[in-house]
């Protein structure tokens, strides 16, 4: 039996724990509030700089290409900071809602402008109750309805949807009743889900900056400010963050991941610096796996090895990578209970030999007067490596056990032949010879290149990760750079969502439209229904039911 002293101590400890938790929530809310205020000030400052440059341009008539590009840079900076401020405001409100003492920071916005009167209107009427919810009386009098206008996008045209919520007053108890307003994915409900999905997909899926989208909307007769569009992007990213976390959990639960990174220019003061987008792809289809594929992207301001270590903290599966040294710490003993298995990319190794026989590439890079040469030794290496890839094409999609059996029978002798050839050839060459360097690339981590002979799940190449980064590389020509670290993080999250949709053969725009239409009021326990593969299965089932 517990003594009274022990019981009192337990009660006191619980009370102290509750106080500490409350203090932690208050501190978190205060920090979020300060962050929101600072983000708002930065956005305001960027807006003033943009207005100042526009006025200087109008007053002094500067029309040079350089001044136009400067204006574009200022607009992109303002776009990123405005989205930062909107995101920080919403996160601060979420943190403040957990406390009773901290008041959330609310940004001061410009007066909402009415949508053009010539846009077609469509009314969605939510009828008022037939009986008074307070006393049950049916003696109701009609009052003026509350009308909310939301801009929605439909194919090839825009329209404003008027949501009319009827309001009644009870003659018996004088209680006024009105149905609740519908949920909206962004504050104030100014835009519909299709409009918002198109805005985000154009920016992150098709790489059209917001200032370009603003100009197109204005040409279509929809005058919207850059700050309004950026405000919506920040709100969208907050709304879909829980969905990204579900994708992340599914991706990092894989037995095998592909990893790679690519550069993204980061706008800095008086220059651009080089930031990174990292991607980790789960794709079990090459070895007959049934788990849906996922692409996870992360942003960092540099390429230090600490970033992949943070992304993959606790992961202990197979990691398919190139020879970048930043990945090396992931495979060290003691990092986790079970160290990761490294699988190097044979495409990267083959590329080193291919450069020595590719005349077209040599013609592009040769010095004046130099004659392109085809290395016979590099051709020998390519012939051996290509035999390995021919075997892999035949067993792609087969079960892991079958792939492993074929590799042990057919691929292992070829790998042994290549190892012998490299050892004998390198001993005859200078260490500065190009072929010797290509051989050293393989020999310096031969164990990482031969792991595929011991596990049928491993692929010979890391192309799955490289393919997902192609869209980022193509987008750089359109958006030139990310405007801030927060902007890079938002972009990485949205690249993950749209990239995963494509991997699962899902129309990203149709899927994201439905996500934004449902995510505001879907229970947390059913959020997994919005994952691309579950959404696709539900759509297929619905189509079959309609056809039946």
Long-range contacts of 177-181 (CB under 8 A, 24+ apart): 177/128, 177/129, 177/132, 177/133, 177/134, 177/140, 178/128, 178/146, 179/126, 179/127, 179/128, 179/129, 181/146, 181/148
Residue 332 in domain: no
d(CA 83, CA 94): 17
From the CA atom positions of the chain, what is the Rg in Å? 29
Residue 59 pLDDT: 67
Co-location of 197 and 167 in the same domain: no
User: Do 298 and 391 fall within a single domain?
Assistant: no
Tell the burial category of 272 from Cβ atoms under 10 Å away from its Cβ (0-12, 13-18, 19+): middle
Is 326 part of a structural domain of the chain?
A: no
Do 456 and 501 fall into the same domain? Answer: no
Q: Domain check: are 545 and 450 in the same one?
A: no
Q: Per-residue pLDDT tens, the chain, 548 aa: give them.
A: 456 777 878 888 888 888 888 888 888 888 888 988 888 888 888 888 888 877 877 766 655 445 566 677 777 788 888 888 888 888 888 888 888 888 888 888 776 677 888 788 889 999 998 899 888 898 899 899 988 888 887 766 788 888 899 999 999 998 999 998 888 887 777 899 999 999 999 999 988 889 889 999 998 889 999 999 999 999 999 999 999 999 999 999 999 999 999 988 887 766 778 889 999 999 999 999 999 999 999 999 999 989 999 999 888 899 999 988 888 888 877 666 667 899 999 999 999 899 888 777 766 666 655 666 778 999 999 999 999 999 999 999 999 999 999 999 999 999 999 999 999 999 999 988 989 999 999 999 999 999 999 999 999 999 999 988 888 877 777 766 777 888 889 999 999 999 999 999 999 999 999 999 999 889 989 999 999 999 999 999 988 888 87
195 and 286 co-located in one domain: yes
Same domain, 453 and 474: no
3-state helix, strand, coil in the chain (%, to 5): 55, 15, 30
At 65 the pLDDT is: 46
Same domain, 457 and 469: no
Q: Are residues 350 and 283 in the same domain?
A: no
133 belongs to a structural domain: yes
Cα dist from 73 to 54, 210, 260, 272, 482, whole Å: 12, 12, 29, 11, 10
Q: According to the model, what pLDDT value does residue 484 have?
A: 83
Residue 198 lies in a domain: yes
Is 411 a member of any domain?
Answer: yes
Half-sphere exposure in the Cβ direction for 540 (13 Å, CA): 9
Give the N- to C-terminal CA distance of the chain in Å, as an integer.
Answer: 67
The number of residues in the chain equals 548
Are both 198 and 306 inside the same structural domain?
yes
Cα-Cα-Cα-Cα torsion 169, 175, 178, 179, nearest 10 degrees, comes to -140
Domain count, the chain: 4
What is the dihedral sign for C-alpha 316, 318, 320, 323? positive
Confirm whether 354 is domain-assigned. yes
Long-range Cβ contacts of 322-329 (<8 Å, 24+ apart): 322/260, 322/348, 322/462, 323/348, 323/441, 323/444, 323/445, 324/261, 327/259, 329/305
Instruction: Examine residue 319 and state whether it is found in any structural domain, yes or no.
Output: no
* Confidence (pLDDT) at 190: 85
Other C-beta atoms lying within 10 Å of the C-beta of residue 210: 26
Residue 387 belongs to domain spanning: 346-461
User: Do residue 85 and residue 118 come from a single domain?
Assistant: no
Give the span between the Cα atoms of 77 and 483, in whole angstroms.
5
- Alpha-carbon dihedral 104, 105, 106, 107, rounded to 10 degrees: -160
- Which pLDDT value is given to residue 515? 96
Residues 138 and 244 in one domain: no
Q: Is 170 helix (H, G, I), strand (E, B) or coil?
A: strand
**d(Cα 344, Cα 436) in Å, to the nearest integer?**
19
Which of 428, 461, 494 is the last residue in one of the domains? 461
Domain boundary among 461, 494, 522: 461
Domain end position, chosen among 69, 97, 125: 97
The answer on 396 and 287 residing in a single domain is no
372 belongs to a structural domain: yes
């Amino acid at each position: 039996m517990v003594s009274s002293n022990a019981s009192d101590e337990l009660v006191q400890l619980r009370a102290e724990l509750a106080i500490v938790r409350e203090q932690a929530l208050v501190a978190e809310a205060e920090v979020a509030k300060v962050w929101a205020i600072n983000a708002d000030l930065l956005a305001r400052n960027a807006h003033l700089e943009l207005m100042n440059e526009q006025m200087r341009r109008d007053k002094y008539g500067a029309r040079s290409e350089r001044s136009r590009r400067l204006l574009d840079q200022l607009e992109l900076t303002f776009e990123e900071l405005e989205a930062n401020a909107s995101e920080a405001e919403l996160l601060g409100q979420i943190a403040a809602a957990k406390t009773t003492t901290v008041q959330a920071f609310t940004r001061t916005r410009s007066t909402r402008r009415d949508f053009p009167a010539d846009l077609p209107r469509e009314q969605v009427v939510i009828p008022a109750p037939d009986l008074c919810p307070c006393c049950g009386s049916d003696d109701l009098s009609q009052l003026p309805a509350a009308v909310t206008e939301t801009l929605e996008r439909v194919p090839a045209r825009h329209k404003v949807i008027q949501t009319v919520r009827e309001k009644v007053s009870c003659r018996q108890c004088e209680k006024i009743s009105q149905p609740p307003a519908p949920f909206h994915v962004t504050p104030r409900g100014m835009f519909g889900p299709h409009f918002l999905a198109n805005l985000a997909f154009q920016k992150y899926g098709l790489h059209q900056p917001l200032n370009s989208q603003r100009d197109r909307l204005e040409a279509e007769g929809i005058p919207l400010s850059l700050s309004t569009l950026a405000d919506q992007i920040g709100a969208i990213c907050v709304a879909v963050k829980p969905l990204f976390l579900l994708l992340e959990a599914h991706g990092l639960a894989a037995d095998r991941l592909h990893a790679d990174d690519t550069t993204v220019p980061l706008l800095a003061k008086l220059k651009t610096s080089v930031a990174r987008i990292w991607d980790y792809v789960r794709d079990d289809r090459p070895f007959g796996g049934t788990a849906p594929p996922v692409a996870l992207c992360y942003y960092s301001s540099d390429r230090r090895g600490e970033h992949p270590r943070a992304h993959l903290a606790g992961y202990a599966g197979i990691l398919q990578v190139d020879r970048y040294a930043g990945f090396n710490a992931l495979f060290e003993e003691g990092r986790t209970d079970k160290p990761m298995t490294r699988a190097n990319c044979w495409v990267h190794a083959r590329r080193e030999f291919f450069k020595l026989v590719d005349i077209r590439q040599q013609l592009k890079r040769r010095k004046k007067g130099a004659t392109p040469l085809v290395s016979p030794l590099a051709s020998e290496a390519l012939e051996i490596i290509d035999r390995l890839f021919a075997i892999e094409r035949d067993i792609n999609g087969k079960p892991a056990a079958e792939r492993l059996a074929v590799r042990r029978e057919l691929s292992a002798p070829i790998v042994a032949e290549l190892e012998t050839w490299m050892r004998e050839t390198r001993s005859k060459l200078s260490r500065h010879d190009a072929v010797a360097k290509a051989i050293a690339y393989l020999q310096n981590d031969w164990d990482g290149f031969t792991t595929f002979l011991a596990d049928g799940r491993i692929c010979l190449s890391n192309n799955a990760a490289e393919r997902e980064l192609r869209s980022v590389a193509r987008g750089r020509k359109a958006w030139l750079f990310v405007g801030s670290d927060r902007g890079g993080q938002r972009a990485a999250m949205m690249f993950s969502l749209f990239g995963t949709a494509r991997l699962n053969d899902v129309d990203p725009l149709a899927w994201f439209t439905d996500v934004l239409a449902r995510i505001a009021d879907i229970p947390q326990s059913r959020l997994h229904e919005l994952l691309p593969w579950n959404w696709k299965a539900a759509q297929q089932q619905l189509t079959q039911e309609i056809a039946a």
